[in-house]
Amino acid sequence: MKFRFRRQGNDPQREKIKQDLFAFNKTVEHGFPNQPSALAYDPKLQLMAIGTKSGAIKVYGSPGVEFTGLHKDTATVTQMHFLHGQGRILSLLDDNTLHLWEIGQREQCSSLEEVCSFTIPCRTAVCASYFSPYSATRVTVLLPKLNCDLLAVGTEGGGVHFLELPSLTLLDKSLFQDEIMQRWEALFVFSLGPVESLQEHPQHPDKILIGYSRGLVVLWDLQTRHVDNLFLGKQQLESLVWERSGNSFVSSHSDGGYMVWSVSSSTPCTNEPVSSTITYGPFPCKAVNKILWRTAESGAPLVLFSGGMPRASYGDRHCLTILQDSQHVTLDFTSRVIDFFTVHCTDAHKFDDPSALVVLLEEELVVIDLQTAGWPTIPAPYLAPLHSSAITCSYHISNVPTKLWERVVSAGQQQGSLQTHTNWPICGGKNLAPDPKQQELMLTGHEDGTVRFWDASGVSLRPLYKLSTANIFQTDCDHNDSLTQAGEEEWPPFRKVGCFDPYSDDPRLGIQKICLCKYSGKLVVAGTAGQVIVLYLSDEKSDHMIDVATVDLLQDREGFTWKGHDRLPPKSGSVVFAPGFQPVVLVQCMPPAAVTAVTLHAEWNLIAFGTSHGFGLFDYHRRSPVLARCTLHPNDSLAMEGPLSRVKSLKKSLRQSFRRIRKSRVSGKKRVQEANAHLAEQDAEVTPVQRRIEPRSADDSLSGVVRCLCFADTFLRDGTHHGPTMWAGTNSGSVYAYALDVPSQEKFSEQSVEALLGKEIQLMHRAPVVSIAVLDGRGNPLPEPYEVSRDLAKAPDMQGSHSVLIASEEQFKVFMLPKVSAKTKFKLTAHEGCRVRKVALVNFSSVASEDYSENGLVCLTNLGDIHVFSIPALRPQVRYDCIRKEDISGIASCVFTKTGQGFYLISPSEYERFSLSARVITEPLCQVRHSERGSGLDGTKITGSSVKNSR
């Protein structure tokens, strides 16, 4: 009621200010699309499109040019084709519908809009081969003619239908198998099988090559409705490709081979191919799913095909073979090949001269430079496989100083090997976005112990540098290198390509928390086995020992035995470190439970870290522990289990398998889906879900988990002397505040840091403390370390009384310091029924005026909505729905930037970027120029319907 009261009397002036400060936009998706299913390329516009299983189409051009369209139905995009040069995309979904999309331009934004859709009508009369086991109308292949007026559609029934483009109207000139079989008495088969491939003759637009599954290939003349040539292939057909001249074509087959056929008007019926090769024979091989044949001015043609591996020995590999003369490389990927294309000359040239090969894999995009010897990979400026190892945490740094930025970039450049710096081959469209005003770093921690640094300043998330922490521990994975060395000599000539590696050598290496000081280049990385590593950025190679310290967080607490994993054994000798972040100290918490909170104050040379058992303070300059405090509640038994305990993992795996079952059901047909939904409903009604209403109690499990830590220079002991303090908050609503005695800069080495417990606060509602922040006398957050001493930020008000903002899962409270008397509060859960998941203090600047800005408390709740509150008054300002409440991993992964943007994972491999600020928005602004479109759709063009991915 108080709440409602407060909201009354909306001040119009305040509303205007709020409009200038806050605006919610989902701006761009970073990373690699989840479950890609189709690939298309327009050589004229130089745009690439990726379709996904969720029905999204994402178009990419030169870096910064990207936009998305989403089908109304969540169905897999099975095929996509650009109508070359027109800015139109045809998509085929697995529900057998065809959709035509147009690239539209609204102000500075390109967008993708669906124009029309089409389903082949199921007329029984059309089903010519009724004895066929295939659905007559199920579309197998599409071929939009190069002049974009006609679309040929091959079906499972073996018929080829023709649609007018761009209206998608069925023309009455379908071609059925009977027609072919009647004309050629030589064909005595019952059915030719589904249409497997349709290829337009490169020289004669009226002729198309039709390949049927059973092996027959015909050259069909659209004008005369006549079969020009007939090729009697005997192997099951997989794909066809023309040679540029049109004098020959290549077919690939299910036995792992490919055949070259010559086309001549003199022999209308060819029985034998010019050549037939099974590259990886003679033992049975898997099918060659797709083959490309590209001529080169320099000599022999390039043959590129996917699959075809010897079934017994390498049947499980995901491979793509590049053959040219004697050169032979088998690209060995870690995930399935979805599709691939080459970037090559399409105009009046005599040769294809492919410059690049673009391979879409299930988990990443790999681009190979075909013009440089050795076919190196080209690093992609976007579509970064964020999930090359599962992301375990994310950390964002706004406004990175140029000095640090350059050093990180140069460290990253020294890491790259077997990569060329050829220009990115897909460079359509024009990026209109202004250069980012400031550099932003995104750090992702991964399960394999790596920390990846990404350039998050703009629309495309670019990898900068990769830090691995595994090399300072003794793990089982060390012999891996020797294995790959031995592989050099083997046949086929495998080459590992791509970086997606879902297998973690040791789950204990996983990164849990990251903290970086952007001014000093100090980095703290904390992991699953209680390891806290302090690193500093060095431009030189180094070979040194790492200091190891162990901090006992149990503090002689009796009756506890750790049943979880062991700590990671550090390497004993000296270790070689490449330029970049190099470890200084390794602190290992005992028991080695996962680190749940970490913070760094580089000016004081202190790190603080917490686990489910307690927290510690460590002086990394003197390499000495300052403080360890146990936060365990005596009744807490779960705290000793550890995250990898058997009980939990069994529970988890069961849950996962159930989820998998559910998922597989959903992907089935719609009717099944509905039936299941109905069933689920009934189930829910039979056993209603109950919730127990019980307040949190002190002996709830895992109450000792340290949730947040913070350093602040403030008033803890009395109102006249401020000094360094450290704050820790736990899962049970306890806050511990320590006054620190930090020696001055010169005396760091002689004098040790002292910590004195100043205050202990027990929040009555006992909800987990999510965040603690100290506000200065003006109610502004305290600046970061070094910002004051280096004149980088306005000095905080040290005259007025400071206050501490404690955000728990249920409410926000501001307490005055040093008395810790409650000043303001907001009970979010009591009012809204939602719980606080993530909070951040954010500076919102106004669009109306350069220098007007307000600090706000941004809060993401378990319902996935975002609230903004004023500080220190804690008045609600705005509320936006952001993430689906079922998307737990999305909510858990959300990070906010200091200027009002945020990121969360929409899939294991993609961040959604959003903006809460009306001023600071990072969105793709781009332009695609396409040729005039045909007039087929005058007046019927659907515009204005914004197609946005609303996940």
Using CB under 8 A as the criterion, which residues of the chain lie in contact with another protein when the complex forms?
A: 1-2, 4-5, 555, 627-630, 684-685, 688-696, 698, 717, 738, 754-765, 767, 810-811, 813, 815, 819-822, 827, 829-835, 862-863
Residue 835 CB, nearest distance to another protein (Å)? Answer: 6
Return the number of the residue (299 or 695) whose C-beta is nearest another protein: 695
What separation, in Å, do the N-terminal and C-terminal C-alpha atoms of the chain show?
34
* Helix boundaries (H) for 118-256: 177-183
In the complex with another protein, the residue whose CB is nearer, 204 or 696, is: 696
Closest approach, Cβ 516 to another protein, in A, equals 29
Shortest spacing between CB 606 and another protein, in angstroms = 15
Question: Exposure of 573 by Cβ count < 10 A (0-12 exposed, 13-18 middle, 19+ buried)?
Answer: exposed
Please, which residue, 343 or 836, has the CB nearer to another protein? 836
The nearest distance, CB 762 to another protein, in angstroms, is 4
Q: Which of 854, 836, 834 is nearest to 844 (CA)?
A: 854
Kindly state the smallest distance separating residue 820's Cβ from another protein, in Å.
5
Helical H runs in 455-508?
480-486
Please check whether residue 236 is in contact with residue 214, taking contact to mean a CB–CB distance below 8 angstroms: yes
Nearer to another protein, 317 or 827 (CB): 827
Q: In what order do the strands lie in the sheet with 327-333?
A: 288-296, 299-307, 318-324, 327-333, 494-496
Q: Residue 82 or 815: which CB sits closer to another protein?
A: 815
Residue 721 CB, nearest approach to another protein (Å): 13
CA 681 to CA 684: how far, in whole Å?
Answer: 5
Least separation in angstroms between CB 863 and another protein: 7
Q: Which is nearer to another protein, 680 or 830 (CB)?
A: 830
Smaller CB distance to another protein: residue 359 or 607?
607
User: What is the nearest approach in angstroms of another protein to the Cβ of residue 557?
Assistant: 8
636-640 — which CB contacts under 8 Å span 24+ positions?
636/699, 636/701, 636/702, 636/703, 636/704, 637/701, 638/701, 638/702, 639/560, 639/593, 639/612, 639/613, 639/701, 639/702, 639/704, 639/705, 640/560, 640/561, 640/562, 640/563, 640/564, 640/591
Q: How far is the CB of 689 from another protein (least distance, A)?
A: 6
Q: In the complex with another protein, which residue's Cβ is closer, 837 or 933?
A: 837
DSSP string, 701-714: TTTT-EEEEEEEEE
Q: Nearest approach, Cβ of 742 to another protein (angstroms)?
A: 14
Output the smallest distance, CB 405 to another protein, in A: 40
Q: With beta carbons less than 8 A apart as the criterion, state whether 456 and 444 touch.
A: no
The first and second tokens of residue 367, run together, are 């681009």
- Angle at CA of residue 574, ends 568 and 576, nearest 5°: 100
DSSP 479: G
As a three-state string, the secondary structure of 553-585 is CCCCCCCCCCCCCCCCCECCCCEEECCEEEEEE
CA–CA dist 329, 902 (Å, integer): 42
Please name the residue that has the structure tokens 């995309």: 89
Query: What's phi and psi for 650, nearest 5 deg?
Result: -65, -45
Smaller CB separation from another protein, 531 or 732: 732
Q: Which is nearer to another protein, 362 or 865 (CB)?
A: 865
Least CB distance to another protein at residue 886 (A): 11
323/312 Cα distance (integer angstroms): 22
DSSP letter string over 84-132? TTTTEEEEEETTSEEEEEEEEEETTEEEEEEEEEEE----TTT---TT-
Residue among 695 and 939 whose Cβ is closer to another protein: 695
Calpha distance 381→343 (Å, rounded): 17
Smallest separation, CB 751 to another protein (Å): 13
CB of 764 to another protein, least distance (A): 4
Torsions phi, psi for 422 (to 5 deg): -60, 155
Q: How many CA atoms lie within 13 A of 243 on its CB side?
A: 17
Cβ atoms of 322 and 328 closer than 8 Å: yes
Yes or no: say if 356 and 366 are a contact pair by the CB < 8 Å rule. no
Nearer to another protein, 122 or 677 (CB): 677
Min dist. Cβ of residue 322 to another protein (A): 54
Q: Which is nearer to another protein, 409 or 630 (CB)?
A: 630
**Looking at beta carbons only, is 121 or 695 nearer to another protein?**
695
User: Which lies closer to another protein via its Cβ, residue 383 or residue 755?
Assistant: 755
What distance in Å separates the CA atoms of residue 406 and residue 411, rounded to the nearest whole number?
8
**Residue 712 C-beta: closest distance to another protein, Å:** 17
The minimum distance between CB 758 and another protein, in angstroms, equals 6
Kindly give, in sequence order, each residue whose CB lies less than 8 Å from that of residue 219, ignoring residues fewer than 6 positions away: 201, 207, 208, 209, 210, 227, 228, 229, 230, 231, 263
Q: How far is residue 575 from each of residues 96, 409, 415, 546, 627, measured CA to CA in Å?
A: 58, 23, 17, 8, 29
Nearest to 738 by CA among 899, 863, 606, 855: 606
CB of 690 to another protein, least distance (A): 4
**Which H helix or E strand runs over 489?**
none
Comparing CB distances to another protein, the nearer of 395 and 738 is 738
Angstrom distance (rounded) from CA 870 to CA 859: 11
Question: CA 575, 576, 580, 586: dihedral to nearest 10 degrees?
Answer: 0
Give the separation between CA 393 and CA 443, rounded to whole angstroms.
8
Query: Looking at beta carbons only, is 18 or 802 nearer to another protein?
Result: 802
* CA gap 181, 189 in Å, rounded: 8
Of residues 563 and 696, the one with the C-beta less far from another protein: 696
| Exposure on the CB side of residue 757, measured as CA atoms within 13 A | 10
